[in-house]
Amino acid sequence: MTLADCVAEGRIEDYSARRRAHVQFSRRRLRLRGPCGKLTAIRTEPKHPVSRRCALLSWILLAACTDDAAKVDDSGAEPAAELFPCDDFPGDPRFEVEGAIEGYLLVPWYDPANDDAGIVVLDSDGCSRLSFDVPSFVTAARWDGDAIWYNQMGNVGAIHRYDMRTGEATTIDAPDAHHDFVLHPDGTVAWLAEVVETVDGEEVAGDVIRERAPDGTVREVWNAFEDLEVTQHSAWDVNRPHAWTHANGIAYDPASDSYLVSLYYLHQILEVERLTGRHTRMLSADGLADEFGPQHAPSPRPGGGVRMFDNAGAGNPSRLLEMGWDGEVLWQWRSEDELSAQVLGDMHVTSTGMVIGSFGVAGVVLAVVDNEEAWRATSPGVAIGRLDWRAELPE
């Protein structure tokens, strides 16, 4: 079966209205799902015209659904080996890998030089087990069963869910959403959103936490303007409106039914009660013997305290950091080559105790086992957002 056959029979019709439901394609590839059978990856080459339904940057699609794929019964589940083969397509961010780890990493990436962005599932060898483009820079991605959730930065303000088995996508409207989000077991989604208020005659940008319940109800959980005093800092005049809190990370702590929120410019992490919308604790770098910040990716530390990616000041090596609420350093790790990332970053501890570090704009993801670097994947020129890990892919 050819691509023309698929189009003629309506198997990839109405792409614009059914974006990502049956088709995934970009400058590099087309993926067909549903009536065309197996997940089929299709190489592309430039400078050739294509059907107007499948036109994208004047690239031509060189292959399509195979005869075998066309005979697949969509009602049946497909094995992981067919769903997630090792892709080797030119154009994706290539990761040079050293060492070995178990499991799979869900990595959101952005190529600022080409204004290109996507999400890739990497194995220990740096092999892409699943890859798709996204419309704008993604700063956080999460596993949720057979689905991948990711946010959309920019003016749209949305959080997307992509089903790895069916290729279907759904979108949650999340006004003013940015940087990070949380998934609750009951289906509630929480996100950071920017708000602007006038303070002493000047516009100031702060942040709120919003939640969307499964029934679609949206509520504001926390508002920085109501909970904190507006104070100026070194980056106050960088933007207009004045950049105040610049929240860049959120995590949920079920033990206290609270959110941890990272405030980048203030070098602070708050514990915010979900019920009252007030912060009950604040970890601030101000006055600490071992200062941190700016920082990203807070998460609760079992036994008490906070985990974070400490970007550290310009010219200083970034670190993976665990700190008590009293400011005591409980654990820290810096790479031997003193990697530094002033933008983005993540610290993720797996269920096996392995520590994954994403060094943002340095284009490096690494794994730490027993305080030693066990694995590193590098893609120069690519910025990496908040990632996730799982031991096995869906079956």
Closest CA to 355 of 339, 335, 382: 335
**What pLDDT was estimated at residue 92?**
61
Percent of the chain with pLDDT over 70: 76
Both tokens of 312, joined, read 């550290």
Both tokens of 313, joined, read 């000041």
**What pLDDT was estimated at residue 88?**
53
**What pLDDT was estimated at residue 86?**
66
Residue 12 pLDDT > 70: no
End-to-end CA distance of the chain: 27
**What pLDDT was estimated at residue 128?**
83
Across 182-187, average pLDDT: 96
Cis status of the peptide bond prior to 294, with omega within 30 of 0: yes
Residue 199: which pLDDT band, with cuts at 50, 70 and 90? very high
Lowest-pLDDT choice from 39-48, 103-112, 253-262: 39-48
- Phi (first) and psi of residue 392, to 5 degrees: -135, 155
Q: What is the mean pLDDT of the chain?
A: 80
**What pLDDT was estimated at residue 75?**
31
**Whether the Cβ atoms of residue 376 and residue 123 lie closer than 8 Å to each other:** no
How far is Cα 63 from Cα 252, in angstroms, rounded to an integer? 45
What single DSSP character describes residue 241?
A: S
Task: State which of 12-16, 126-130, 357-361 shows the largest mean pLDDT.
Answer: 357-361
**What pLDDT was estimated at residue 126?**
86
| Domains identified in the chain and CATH numbers | 3-76 (no CATH), 96-390 (2.120.10.30)
> Model's pTM, two decimal places?
0.80
Q: Percent helix, strand, coil in the chain (nearest 5)? A: 5, 45, 50
pLDDT in tens, 72-94: 233 333 333 344 666 554 456 77
Residue keyed to tokens 């189009």: 7
Alpha helices for the chain (secondary structure H): 3-8, 67-70, 80-83, 224-227
